[in-house]
Amino acid sequence: MKASIFDAEKLEARRKEHQLQPFRIKQIYHEIFKNSVIDFQEMTALSKEMRDSLSENFSIVPFKLKEQQESPDTTKFLFELEDGNVIESVIMFHYHEIIEWSKEYKKGFTTLVDGKKLNRLTLCVSSQVGCSVGCIFCVTGKLGLLKNLDVQTIIGQVLYANNYLKEKLGKKEDNSRYMIRNIVFMGMGEPLLNYDNVKKSIHYMLDQNGFSLSRRHITISTSGIIPGIQKMIDDNLEVMLALSLHAPNQELRSELIPTITKMYTLDKLLAQVDEYTEKTGRKIFYEYIMIKDKTDKPELAYELIDLLLARPVHSHINLIPYNENPAIDLEEPSRNKIMKFKEILEKGGVTVTVRDTLGRGVKGACGQLGYEKVYEHRDEIKATGKNLRVLKK
């Protein structure tokens, strides 16, 4: 098996063995992070002999593309790992309608697509193969947990996405490259259950010699893993935190997330969140799933108001319309019902946004990663109530 190009010890040993100058290492990383190169043979600043040697002994991305699905606002990648497992990543293209060209151009918008300007690019990154949390509305939870992803596989998703953007979009008007500028750990898996590897991957995302991203442009989304939130406090991990709240009371939350809510009860979780906001000074984002006749009731909106305004730091809540899960019978509320829920929250003093349903066309919307695999086994999963990992044993 090839070594990771990010294994500094092995790369340094290789450099010394072949008596290469230290600047060559910086040159390799510059090609990878700044020029979005994921094939050593494309690093033409290196000799042919060196490119061949690197190709034979090291890997940049430790997976291959299995399938790619595209819609106007998203691109979903299905990557096959060396062990045969599959993970998914989703690029979200955020556009801004052109109203007055001169003003909008000055704001830095770039490629024009169907009368809209491309504003920003977000990558939804996976941190595990499958997930153990088992939220009833989430497709990935029906897979069960297969493994944690290592650092190379996590950052490899970003590298692959940047390489794809280079080929798809070319260069901007100022001759700079299109690159992912926002990363959300909202793909497959619970990132705080793979904390060490997620933390190390964030180092590459923030490093000036790496992806050089802003701390405010990286978000970790958690279902409520209290020890992981505590680690973020202890390590002063200065990225954004989003909490998948989904319910304003313990009873409903336990129904929606049956696996962790007995250990991490809502009162304990919110106490940890309060400590996080007080010690870090950062707001968090709350995520709330909108499911017909389950989480969309007006009385729940009033409960949410009381719950959120009782926090020492008032934060933003995103309402997420339910996206289809083939292994469970739930429905999305009507748009009117969602907007009424939003109106109640706003009148109560809570800032709220209804999340765009980007990615539905490729089954890459929130909670849908792993859709194709779950759809294939949907009847068996429904009949037994077990996840795919258990069924395959």
Domain identity same for 10 and 158: no
pLDDT at 105: 42
Q: Based on the fold, state whether residues 217 and 99 are members of the same structural domain.
A: yes
Catalytic entry in 31, 88, 190, 332: 88
pLDDT band at 107 (very low <50, low <70, confident <90, very high): very low
Question: How high is the pLDDT of residue 119?
Answer: 81
- Residues 53 and 69 grouped into a single domain: no
On the question of pLDDT at 113 being above 60, the answer is: no
Q: How many CB atoms lie within 10 A of CB 267?
A: 9
Of the listed ranges 250-254, 334-338, 372-376, the one predicted with least confidence: 372-376
Residues 118-156: tens digit of each pLDDT: 888 999 999 999 999 999 999 999 999 999 999 999 999
What band does 115 get if pLDDT is binned at 50, 70 and 90?
low
Joined tokens for residue 38 = 């994921």
Q: What is the CATH number of the domain that holds 222?
A: 3.20.20.70
287 near 221, Cβ under 8 Å? Answer: yes
Say if residues 125 and 109 touch (Cβ distance below 8 Å): no
Angle formed at CA 347 by CA 344 and CA 349, multiple of 5 degrees: 110
At 35, is the pLDDT very low, low, confident or very high (cuts 50, 70, 90)?
very high
Q: Which CATH number characterizes residue 44's domain?
A: 1.10.150.530
> For residues 232 and 276, is the Cβ–Cβ distance under 8 A?
yes
Strand-pair category, 74-81 with 58-59: unpaired
Domain extent at residue 55: 3-59
Q: Are residues 70 and 137 in the same domain?
A: yes
Q: Are residues 285 and 237 in the same domain?
A: yes
Q: One of 124, 131, 135, 366 is an active-site residue; which one?
A: 366
Give the model's pLDDT for residue 14: 83
Report the percent of the chain where pLDDT is more than 70: 95
Mean pLDDT of 273-282: 95
Per-residue burial over 18-40, b if 16 or more Cβ lie within 10 Å, else e, is: eebeeebbebbbebbbeebbbeb
Per-residue model confidence (pLDDT) at position 361: 85
Average pLDDT over residues 329-358: 95
Query: Domain count of the chain?
Result: 2
DSSP assigned state of 264 = S
Tokens representing residue 174 in the block: 């100022």
Which tokens go with 371? 């859709």
Angle at 8 between CA 6 and CA 9, to 5 degrees: 135
Say yes or no to pLDDT of 116 above 80. Answer: no
φ and ψ at residue 14, rounded to 5 degrees: -65, -40
On whether both 17 and 113 belong to a single domain, the answer is no
Together in a domain, 148 and 167:
yes
| Amino acid letter for position 248 | P
Q: Which of 367, 362, 376, 326 is nearest to 67 (CA)?
A: 362
Contact 124, 367 (CB under 8 A): no
Active site residue 138: no
Quick one: 123 and 174 in the same domain? yes
What's the pTM value of the predicted model, to 2 decimals? 0.93
Average pLDDT, integer, range 373-378:
92
DSSP assignments along 52-93, one per residue: HHHHHHEESSSEEEEEEEEETTEEEEEEEETTS-EEEEEEEE
**pLDDT for residue 100:** 46
**Closest by Cα among 5, 14, 26, 22 to 207:** 26
Based on the domain organization, do 318 and 179 belong to the same domain?
A: yes
Per-residue confidence (pLDDT) for residue 20, from 0 to 100? 78
Residue 88 falls in the annotated catalytic set: yes
* pLDDT for 117: 79
Give the up-direction half-sphere exposure of residue 264: CA atoms within 13 A in the CB hemisphere: 23
| pLDDT of 72 strictly over 70 | yes
Residue pLDDT, tens place only, 198-233: 999 999 999 999 999 999 999 999 999 999 999 999
Average pLDDT, the chain: 92
Tokens of 17: 């063995």
